[in-house]
C-alpha cells in the first residue's frame, strides 16, 4: 500500500501511521475485537472522503469507517489490517437555514453535540443513549441506533430527512435538500440507514428535531414479577401519548451496579424486577398523569419513586444506564441484543437464564433493556469456552419466538454468521447485489453484515 500517494492526495496532516495512535483506534469498545491497521485517515470534507475512496477503490485497499467506535458488534474494527477512516474531524453542525426544525450535521458530530445545539433552540433530537458523548451521527445512521426514546420518536431512521454519502467507488450521492416529501425513486436515507458502512460512507445529514418537552416525570417501580413490569409497560403505552421511555432491569444487575459504583440499594433489595418509565410533554402532564390510568397504577404499587426535576431523575436513571459499564468492569461479556414480540417477552425472560445455565453452568447472564420495544440486552459474563454455542442457541431461541437477532446494535461482524437465521437466501443474495452496486471493489467494511462464509 503506497500511503505516500494518499498523503500526496490529501496532505500529510490527514494520514497518520504512528503505531500507538493507530493501535488506539484498532480495538472495539467491548474489547472483544482487536484489530491492526497500516494507518488512520482523518478526512475533513466530503470531497476528501471521495478522494480517499476513489484511491482505495482503484488500489483495492480495504477500509473500515469509524465514528465514535462505541459500536457493540465489531463493525468499526480493522480485523484484517484494513485502513481506518475516522470521521471525527468532520463535526460541523448548524440549524438548517431552510427549516428551523432541522439540523444539518457532518457525520462526526456526536449525539451530545446535536442534543446541545437542539436544546439551545428549544428543540430536542429524538435519539438518546448512554454513549451520547462519543457516538456520532454517521455511526448512528450506519447502525440505525435506537436507544431510550424509540417509543416516542422512533429509531434513527425516523430522524433522517436527507443524507449525503460517498460510495465505495468514491461517488458522492444523496443530497441535503431537507424536503419532507421527496418521492424521486429509491430513498437513499432509508437504504443507507442500517447499512453499517458496507455501502457508503455517510458524510452529512439533515435531521428532524422535535419540540422540547416542558415537563418531565420519571417513575421507578420496584416489582416482583416480569408480568407486573410488562403490564405497567402496556398501561404506559396505552394511557398517555407523552410516554418517552420504559426500561426494564433486574436485581442481579442492580447488585452489580451497587457494588461497582457504591450506589444505595432500592427498597432494601426486597424486589426482583425494576421498571423505569419516563413521561415528557407540555406543562401539566404530571397532574394529568396522576388523574388518569397511571395514577391508578401508582396507587396500586407500594414501591414507586417519582422524580420531577433533572437531578432526581438522573439519580433514578443511573440504575439503568450504568449496566453496560458495570458489566464490562467484570470481564468481556457475550453481548446479545434481541427483540421479542411483546406477547412472547414474558416467556423469553422467564426461560432465558435457565437456558444459558444449561449450556454453561458457570456463566452469568445479565438482562436489561427497552421493554416497550420488546428489545432486551443479554450480557453473558463467563461464558467461555461455550461462547459460540451459547450465542447460537440463544439466537435460535429468539427466532423460534418470532423475534429478531439484532434489535438496535446491528449485525456487524459479531452476528454475521447468524444472518441466515433471519434472512432467507434470496434476501442475502439481494444484499450482495446491492453491495456490489454501491461498492464494486468490495472495499468497504469487509465481512460486516455478510461474512465471506455465508
Binding site for ligand 2HG (CB under 6 A): 72, 129-130, 324, 335, 337, 377, 379
In the list ligand 2HG, ligand FAD, none, the entry touching 377 (Cβ below 5 to 8 angstroms by class) is ligand 2HG
Which residue, judged by CB position, is nearest to ligand 2HG in the bound state?
324
193, 202, 217, 219: residue in contact with ligand FAD (rule CB under 6 A): 202
Give the nearest distance from C-beta 32 to ligand 2HG in angstroms: 12
Q: Is 289 helix (H, G, I), strand (E, B) or coil?
A: helix
Of residues 131, 129, 134, the one with CA closest to residue 108: 134
Helix (H, G, I), strand (E, B) or coil at 18: coil
Instruction: Kindly provide the b/e burial profile for residues 24-57, where b requires at least 16 CB atoms within 10 angstroms of the residue's own CB.
Output: ebbbbbbebbebebebbbbbbebebbbbbbbbbb
Residue closer to ligand FAD by CB (options 250, 368) is 368
Buried b (16+ CB within 10 A) or exposed e, 127-136: bbbbbbebbb
Query: Strand pairing of 215-223 and 273-281?
Result: antiparallel
- 89-108 residues in contact with ligand FAD (CB under 6 A) are 107
109 close to 93: Cβ distance less than 8 angstroms: yes
Closer CB to ligand 2HG, residue 125 or residue 129?
A: 129
438 binds ligand FAD (CB under 6 A): no
Is 36 in a helix, a strand, or coil?
coil
Instruction: Select from 380, 344, 375, 377 the least CA-distant residue to 362.
Output: 380
Q: Return the closest-CA partner of residue 65 out of 448, 369, 395, 388.
A: 448
* Phi, psi dihedrals of residue 154, rounded to the nearest 5°: 85, 180
Residue 196, CA atoms < 13 Å, CB-side half-sphere: 26
**Cβ-based burial of 407 (10 A; exposed 0-12, middle 13-18, buried ≥19):** buried
Among 43, 78, 138, 253, binds ligand FAD (CB under 6 A): 138
Asked if 244 is part of the footprint of ligand FAD (rule: CB under 6 A), the reply reads: no
- Among the residue ranges 139-147, 224-232, 264-272, 280-288, the one whose residues contact ligand FAD (CB under 6 A): 139-147
Decide if 75 contacts 197 (C-beta within 8 A).
yes
In whole angstroms, the minimum distance from the beta carbon of 49 to ligand FAD comes to 9
Considering beta carbons, is residue 229 or 407 the nearer one to ligand FAD? 407
**Residue 356: Cβ within 10 Å count:** 24
> Which of 67, 374 has the CB closer to ligand FAD?
67
CB of 22 to ligand FAD, least distance (A): 15
Query: Minimum distance from CB of 323 to ligand 2HG (Å)?
Result: 6
Residue 246 CB, shortest distance to ligand 2HG, in Å, is 12
Beta carbons of 165 and 439 less than 8 angstroms apart = no
> Which lies closer to ligand FAD via its Cβ, residue 30 or residue 383?
30
Q: How far is the CB of 126 from ligand FAD (least distance, A)?
A: 12
Q: Binding residues for ligand FAD, how many (CB under 6 A)?
A: 38
Q: Which is nearer to ligand FAD, 75 or 403 (CB)?
A: 75
Compute φ and ψ for 169, nearest 5 degrees.
-85, 0
| CA distances in angstroms from 200 to 55, 88, 153, 156, 315, listed in the order given | 15, 17, 26, 17, 40
Contact with ligand FAD (CB under 6 A) among 26, 104, 140, 159:
140
Q: Is 400 exposed, middle or buried (0-12, 13-18, 19+ CB in 10 A)?
A: exposed
**Per-residue contact string for residues 29-48; x = within reach of ligand FAD by CB under 6 A:** x-------------------
76 vs 360 by CB, closer to ligand FAD: 76
Residue closer to ligand FAD by CB (options 297, 373) is 373
Nearer to ligand FAD, 75 or 174 (CB): 75
Residue 65 lies near ligand FAD (rule: CB under 6 A): yes
Residues at the site binding ligand FAD, with contacts judged by CB under 6 A? 29, 64-72, 75-76, 87, 107, 129-131, 134-136, 138-140, 142-143, 145-147, 196-197, 201-202, 324, 408-409, 412, 445, 448
Amino acid at each position: 500500500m503506497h500511503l505516500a500517494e494518499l498523503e500526496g492526495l490529501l496532505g500529510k496532516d490527514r494520514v497518520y501511521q504512528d503505531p500507538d495512535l493507530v493501535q488506539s483506534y484498532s480495538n472495539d469498545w467491548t474489547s472483544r475485537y482487536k484489530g491492526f491497521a497500516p494507518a488512520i485517515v482523518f478526512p475533513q470534507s466530503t470531497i476528501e472522503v471521495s478522494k480517499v475512496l476513489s484511491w482505495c477503490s482503484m488500489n483495492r485497499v480495504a477500509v473500515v469507517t469509524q465514528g465514535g467506535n462505541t459500536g457493540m458488534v465489531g463493525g468499526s474494527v480493522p480485523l484484517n489490517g484494513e485502513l481506518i477512516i475516522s470521521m471525527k474531524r468532520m463535526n460541523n453542525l448548524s440549524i438548517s437555514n431552510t427549516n428551523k426544525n432541522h439540523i444539518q450535521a457532518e457525520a462526526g458530530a456526536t449525539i451530545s453535540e446535536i442534543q446541545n445545539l437542539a436544546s439551545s433552540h428549544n428543540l430536542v433530537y429524538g435519539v438518546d443513549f448512554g454513549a451520547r458523548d462519543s457516538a456520532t451521527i454517521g455511526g448512528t445512521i450506519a447502525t440505525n441506533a435506537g436507544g431510550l426514546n424509540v417509543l416516542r420518536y422512533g429509531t434513527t431512521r425516523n430522524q433522517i430527512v436527507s443524507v449525503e454519502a460517498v460510495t465505495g467507488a468514491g461517488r458522492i450521492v444523496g443530497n441535503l435538500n431537507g424536503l419532507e416529501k421527496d418521492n424521486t425513486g429509491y430513498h437513499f436515507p432509508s437504504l443507507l440507514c442500517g447499512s453499517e458502512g458496507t455501502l457508503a460512507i455517510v458524510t452529512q445529514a439533515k435531521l428532524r428535531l422535535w419540540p422540547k418537552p416542558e415537563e418531565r416525570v420519571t417513575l421507578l417501580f420496584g416489582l416482583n414479577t416480569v408480568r407486573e413490569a410488562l403490564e405497567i409497560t402496556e398501561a404506559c403505552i396505552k394511557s398517555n401519548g407523552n410516554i418517552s421511555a420504559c426500561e426494564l432491569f433486574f436485581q442481579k444487575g442492580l447488585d452489580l451496579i451497587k457494588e461497582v459504583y457504591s450506589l444505595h440499594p432500592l427498597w432494601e433489595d426486597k424486589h426482583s424486577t425494576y421498571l423505569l418509565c419516563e413521561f415528557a410533554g407540555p406543562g401539566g402532564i404530571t397532574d394529568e398523569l396522576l388523574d388518569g390510568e397511571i395514577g391508578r397504577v401508582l396507587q396500586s404499587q407500594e414501591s414507586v419513586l417519582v422524580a420531577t426535576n433533572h437531578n432526581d431523575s438522573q439519580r433514578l436513571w443511573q440504575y439503568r444506564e450504568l449496566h453496560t459499564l458495570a458489566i464490562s468492569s467484570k470481564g468481556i461479556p457475550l453481548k446479545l441484543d434481541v427483540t421479542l414480540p411483546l406477547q412472547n417477552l414474558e416467556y423469553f425472560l422467564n426461560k432465558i437464564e435457565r437456558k444459558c445455565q444449561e449450556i454453561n453452568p458457570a456463566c452469568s447472564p445479565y438482562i436489561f433493556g427497552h421493554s416497550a420495544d420488546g428489545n432486551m440486552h443479554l450480557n453473558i459474563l463467563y461464558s467461555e469456552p461455550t461462547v459460540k454455542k451459547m450465542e447460537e442457541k440463544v439466537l435460535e431461541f429468539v427466532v423460534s419466538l418470532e423475534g429478531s437477532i439484532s434489535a438496535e446494535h446491528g449485525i456487524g461482524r459479531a452476528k454475521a454468521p447468524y444472518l441466515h437465521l433471519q434472512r432467507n437466501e434470496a434476501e442475502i443474495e439481494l444484499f450482495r447485489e446491492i453491495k456490489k452496486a454501491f461498492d464494486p471493489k468490495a472495499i468497504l467494511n469487509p465481512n460486516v453484515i455478510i461474512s465471506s462464509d455465508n
